[in-house]
Amino acid sequence: KSVKKLEIINSSMSNAGAFFLGAALRVNSTISQLDLSGSSIGNKGLEHIANAISTNNTLEYLGLSKNGIGALGSIDLFWSLRNNQSLTELDLSLNNIHLPAYSRMKSVLFVNENLRVLNLTGNNIGNEGAILFAEALERNKWLRKLSLGSAQIGTLGAFALAKALKRAHFLEELDLSDNAIRVPGIEVLIEMVKENPKLIVLNVSRNGIPLEFQNSLNGLLQNNINKLHLQF
């Protein structure tokens, strides 16, 4: 019986191990789900995985959470996604990915038509990174769920994302929880998504929104056509 799902989690994968796994992925035609979370792959190991991803046409889910990838490793992976025709879900949470990588990610989101779910929770995105994602969302027609929680995004980044959401009529879920977005940023987000017919979940919990403001913010959702579920 062929293997469709492979999990190698919470291990200490060597560079040689990543090399052999990458070689296998280049020729494998059955594995559709690969979870390498917590495997300490790092930059060098990810280079082998990224090379395989660029030509693999069966992998649909790739979990790389908690691997210490950083900006350099993620740039290699993002570049490989320009040519990948199968991957629909990518988990890169908790990998210390910071700004230089997001410029490459933006260019990938301009052209990749397959990726539907992208998780970047727990990375250093900040306002500048949020602005890059906003620019990507204005042109991307395929992404359905984007997780940017615990990513040091402030009100300025929220303003940019709100502007993008007015046009990004394909995104269905956006997670901005545990950031530093204050009431003005939340208000603008809600006002903009009222005009978005697709977005059904907006998570802005743990952003330091005072309790007395939450009812008034919920009031902004009256008569929204898509019955948005707002999470505080």
Task: Collapse the DSSP code of 37 into the 3-class scheme (helix H, G, I; strand E, B; otherwise coil) and give the result.
Answer: coil
Q: What is the rounded distance in angstroms from the CA atom of residue 99 to the CA atom of residue 120?
A: 12
Q: What is the pLDDT of residues 51-79, one digit of tens each?
A: 999 888 899 999 999 999 999 899 999 99
What amino acid occupies position 173? E
Which residue, among 193, 201, 154, has the nearest Cα to 174 in the 3D structure?
Answer: 201
Token digits for 25?
């992925």
Residue with tokens 């009812």: 215
Token digits for 229?
């579920």
Exposure letters 94-125 (e unless 16+ CB within 10 A, then b): bbebbeebbebbbbbbeebeebebbbbbbbbb
CB-side neighbour CA atoms (13 Å) of 25: 32
What amino acid occupies position 128? E
pLDDT band with cut points at 50, 70 and 90 for residue 226: low
Stated length of the chain = 232
pTM for this one? 0.94
Q: What is the pLDDT of residues 191-218, one digit of tens each?
A: 888 788 888 899 999 998 888 787 777 7
